[in-house]
């Protein structure tokens, strides 16, 4: 039996510190559609009354980083006449890399209808994390990329004045990850400077949201904080930070269900109990409330529970052990945003997210199990280990569920197969799949880890700006499977890509 994490060098992880960055949002000459809302003023109309605004966290990133934690402490808008209004006044914390092309509700506020031309915000930052290989072949989990340097500036973009009107709307705080971190090498140059760059964009909430651009938030993870035994409403505390570690601004979502809500792992809302882990999709309503369209419970046992979402970064099937770079977590045994935790999966139940319902229609066998999992896949882990003492050495996994993830790459072939359009996507060398495919000890090997074949059908939400062609750089979000050595994605959503 090997030691818990022999290849991991966490010596670069620095202590967390706070810095308030004042972000001044300038007026741009042209409006970018971004998250789908219109920001043009309503000619001839008078803006009176108040509007309920939901602030949404999202990001645009390539796959150079695995984590980018950030706490939004305040957000203030300034109107064209100079009036100011506070939108966020209490900390709201989340991790932005897992929101690459998707959205997560942060908070709501009621503000006066007006045309707003600038904003200020204060943030507290953690340390972005990357995964790389050292010259000796060892795995590096680098959580010391510079943090937020004292006195550093910030670039914030407001594509056009934002008109706040109507009963409710959204505001997407879109972290531009590649612009927020200076050029760096995960292994050779870990002291990058972090200067957050945001776009602030309006979001028009559709009557029936279908994607992240019009009010659908998918793959929200957390623990039930109050159950729905006596009704159809429940609350969920987001999976960001363990119960034993103080994380300012943990988010709580109040969620309702309806007769059309799909339940997975349970039969209905009445079975939801405090402490249960959930993976859910919610449709933001036009009154800014949250309606669950899907609620999945992969482990119904809430006793001594810890949940962890992250990316497989090292696995050895011959020993039934693995490591996962933790992105989201709650519980008493997992500490540190930049840790790679060791697990044993010999008795684990393997599952696949029910977010995509077309798996049986795919022209390949879409399966996830101990024999075909590979480094780089996004997973949701539950464990009932009693403490963080790790006795036995590896934390035993109870359930491990394959989750959707976002890849960023270049289309180098377009074809069709079984009613699906297929895109062969070339990944950057730093992406986890090609980067980790060379680690020793793996019994499941990929034939071409630098390519993913993406399958899109009529249910795939296409938010990309231009027609897809060979050479297009795009972000694809969906479930990634290992099909006999070939990576294949069942795609849920396509967004414009980020330069590699």
Segment 384-437, tens digit of pLDDT: 987 654 445 678 899 999 999 999 999 999 999 999 999 999 999 999 999 888
Contact 117, 161 (CB under 8 A): yes
What confidence tens digit (pLDDT) does each residue in 328-364 have?
A: 878 766 554 345 677 889 999 999 999 999 999 999 9
What percentage of residues in the chain have a pLDDT greater than 90?
Answer: 53
Q: What is the pLDDT of residues 127-170, one digit of tens each?
A: 788 888 877 777 777 775 655 543 344 567 889 999 999 999 99
Mean pLDDT for all residues in the chain? 83
Q: Which residue has the higher pLDDT, 433 or 322?
A: 433
CA distance 34 to 266: 36
Structural domains in the chain?
26-203 (no CATH), 216-296 (2.40.50.320), 306-402 (2.40.50.320), 405-496 (2.40.50.140)
Of 201, 198, 235, 205, give the one whose Cα is nearest residue 220.
Answer: 235
Is pLDDT of 4 > 90?
no
DSSP assignments along 92-151, one per residue: EEEESGGGBS--EEEEEEEEE-EEEEEEEEEEEE---BEEEE-TTS-EEEE--S--S-TT
Q: Which residue has the tokens 């669950």?
A: 292
The three-point CA angle 350-220-200 to 5° equals 140
Q: How much is the pLDDT for 337?
A: 36
Q: Please name the residues in contact with 476: beta carbons below 8 A apart, sequence gap of 6 or more.
A: 406, 407, 409, 423, 425, 452, 454, 489, 491, 493, 494
φ/ψ of residue 46, rounded to 5: -105, 125
Query: What Cα–Cα distance (Å) separates residue 448 from each residue in 324, 427, 445, 483, 487?
Result: 22, 10, 9, 11, 8
pLDDT of residue 149: 42
For residues 103 and 211, what is the distance between their CA atoms, to the nearest angstrom?
9
């Amino acid at each position: 039996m090997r030691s818990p994490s022999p290849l991991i060098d966490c010596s670069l992880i620095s202590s967390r510190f706070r810095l308030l960055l004042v972000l001044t949002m300038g007026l741009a000459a042209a409006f970018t559609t971004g998250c789908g809302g219109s920001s043009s003023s309503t000619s001839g109309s008078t803006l009176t009354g108040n509007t309920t605004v939901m602030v949404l966290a999202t990001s645009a990133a390539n796959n150079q980083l695995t984590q980018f934690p950030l706490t939004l402490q305040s957000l203030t808008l300034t109107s064209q006449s100079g009036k100011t209004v506070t939108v966020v006044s209490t900390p709201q914390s989340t991790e932005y890399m897992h929101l690459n092309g998707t959205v997560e509700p942060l908070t709501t506020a009621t503000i006066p209808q007006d045309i707003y031309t600038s904003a200020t915000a204060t943030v507290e930052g953690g340390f972005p994390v990357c995964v790389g290989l050292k010259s000796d072949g060892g795995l590096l989990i680098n959580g010391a990329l510079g943090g937020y340097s004292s006195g550093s500036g910030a670039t914030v973009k407001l594509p056009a004045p934002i008109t706040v009107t109507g009963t409710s709307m959204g505001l997407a705080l879109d972290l531009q990850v590649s612009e927020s971190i200076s050029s760096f090498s995960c292994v050779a140059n870990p002291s990058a400077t972090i200067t957050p760059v945001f776009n602030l964009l309006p979001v028009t909430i559709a009557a029936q949201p279908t994607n992240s651009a019009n009010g659908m938030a998918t793959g929200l993870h957390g623990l039930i904080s109050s159950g729905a035994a006596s009704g159809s409403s429940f609350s969920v505390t987001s999976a960001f930070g363990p119960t034993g570690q103080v994380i300012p601004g943990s988010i709580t979502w109040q969620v309702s269900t309806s007769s059309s809500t799909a339940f997975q792992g349970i039969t209905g809302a009445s079975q939801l109990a405090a402490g249960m882990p959930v993976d859910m999709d919610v449709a933001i309503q036009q009154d800014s409330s949250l309606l669950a369209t899907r609620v999945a419970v992969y482990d119904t046992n809430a006793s001594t529970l810890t949940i962890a979402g992250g990316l497989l970064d090292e696995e050895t099937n011959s020993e039934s052990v693995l490591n996962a770079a933790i992105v989201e977590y709650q519980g008493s045994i997992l500490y540190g945003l930049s840790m790679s935790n060791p697990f044993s999966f010999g008795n684990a139940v393997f599952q696949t997210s029910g977010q995509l319902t077309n798996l049986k229609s795919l022209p390949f066998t879409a399966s996830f199990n101990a024999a075909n999992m590979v480094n780089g896949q996004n997973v949701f882990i539950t464990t009932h280990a009693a403490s963080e003492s790790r006795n036995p050495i590896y934390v035993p996994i109870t359930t491990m569920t394959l989750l959707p993830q976002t890849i960023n790459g270049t289309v180098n072939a377009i074809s069709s197969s079984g009613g699906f359009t297929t895109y062969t996507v070339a990944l950057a060398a730093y992406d986890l799949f090609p980067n980790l495919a060379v680690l020793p000890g793996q019994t499941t090997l990929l034939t071409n880890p630098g390519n993913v074949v993406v399958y899109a059908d009529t249910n795939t939400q296409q938010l990309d700006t231009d027609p897809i062609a060979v050479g297009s750089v795009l972000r694809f979000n969906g479930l990634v499977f290992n099909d006999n050595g070939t990576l294949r994605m069942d795609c849920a959503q396509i967004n414009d890509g980020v330069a590699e």
